[in-house]
Amino acid sequence: MPLLEAKGLTRRFGGLIAVNDFNIELGEREMVALIGPNGAGKTTVFNLVSGFYQPSEGAITINGKDTRSMRPHQVTSLGVARTFQGIRLWGEMTVLDNIRVSQHYRAGYSLLDCFLRTKKYMGREAEIERVAWELLEAMDLKEYALELPRNLSYGLQRRVEIARAMSLKPSLLLLDEPAAGLNSADVEGLIKLVRWIHETFPVTIWMIEHQMKVVMSLCTRIKVVDFGATIADGTPTEIQANPAVIKAYLGDDTI
């Protein structure tokens, strides 16, 4: 059974077809890229998968569970975590708290447990805190634990956002343009980080990325979309030579 299966995924906004008959199957521990020109519907696909939009047609199953009619936080608890195109950390909360709140679904105690500080509450809170510190340690963010994200550099914020997504212990991690706005040194760091995550955790990584350097050095499979439709699907070398992809990116060469 594939980890993620999307069949005939279509999403319309009024008369605009943002995603048209999109199909994908992702297995365990894959690393796949979704590329395409601006406005091709890539982020809409991610929004559909993470439950933020409902598909107009088609279906998404995650670990065999149909996610239609699920709210985003329910999809997340199935093991889907994501980052955003623009960084969306909680800016007024410390880095540590950012990583604590994202484990909300793991809290699992009632309001009464919270008021009475029961054994269950103490146990769960200790577990959440332990996971947060471990992750910060592993991702070299420990020294920033008590900083506010808005005081950190863009590269570090990106790292915190990925750490926050990883705190959900996902089986599928969606990265929406992780290298956007990073300088070349940060991009190198990002490539190392993503590779390390992929080697260390049992996670499938699916990314949208414009920087070919990132895509080519990380992914084993690339899917190209344009105007909501899939135009190519294959290994990096296949995609590089695909005429349809070259046409979508560079335009028609007939004058």
Partner 1 sequence: MQKHTFTISLFAGIFVLTAMAQFGVINQYLVSVIMLMGVNIMLSTSLNLVNGYMGEFSCGHGGFMCVGAYVSSIVTVLLFSKNHILGAPLLPPSLALFAFPLALFAGAAVAAVAGLVVAIPSFKTRGDYLAIITLAANYIVISAIDNMEIIGGPRGFMGMNATVNGMEGLLDIPWMLLWVLFGTVFTVWLLRRFVSSTLGKGVPAIAQDEIAAEIMSVDTNRMKLIAFMLSSGLAGLAGGLFAHILGYVNPHSFDIMKSTEVMVMVYLGGMGSLSGATLSAILFTVLLEVLRPLEIWKWVVIPLLLILLMQFRPEGIMGNKELSDLFPKLKKYYSFK
Rounded least distance, CB 188 to partner 1, Å: 27
Nearer to partner 1, 20 or 47 (CB): 47
Rounded least distance, CB 65 to partner 1, Å: 16
Q: Beta partners for 65? A: 62
Rounded least distance, CB 120 to partner 1, Å: 12
Cβ atoms of residues 82 and 46 within 8 Å: yes
With CA atoms as reference, report the closest residue to 163 among 178, 185, 180: 178
Rounded least distance, CB 89 to partner 1, Å: 7
Nearer to partner 1, 72 or 155 (CB): 72
Nearer to partner 1, 124 or 221 (CB): 124
Cβ atoms of residues 217 and 191 within 8 Å: yes
Rounded least distance, CB 84 to partner 1, Å: 7
By the criterion CB under 8 A, which residues form the site for partner 1? 50, 52, 71-73, 76-77, 81-82, 84, 88-93, 97, 100-107, 109, 111, 114-115, 117, 121, 124-125, 128, 164-165, 168
As given in the structure block, the two tokens for residue 235 are: 């290994």
Nearer to partner 1, 163 or 182 (CB): 163
Beta strands in the chain (DSSP E): 4-13, 16-26, 31-35, 57-62, 65-66, 80-82, 172-176, 204-208, 221-226, 229-234
Element (H, E) at 199: helix 184-200
Cβ atoms of residues 29 and 22 within 8 Å: no
Cβ atoms of residues 105 and 195 within 8 Å: no
Rounded least distance, CB 143 to partner 1, Å: 19
Nearer to partner 1, 35 or 96 (CB): 96
HSE at residue 32, side-chain half, CA atoms within 13 A, is 20
Nearer to partner 1, 20 or 76 (CB): 76
With CA atoms as reference, report the closest residue to 5 among 230, 172, 165, 231: 172
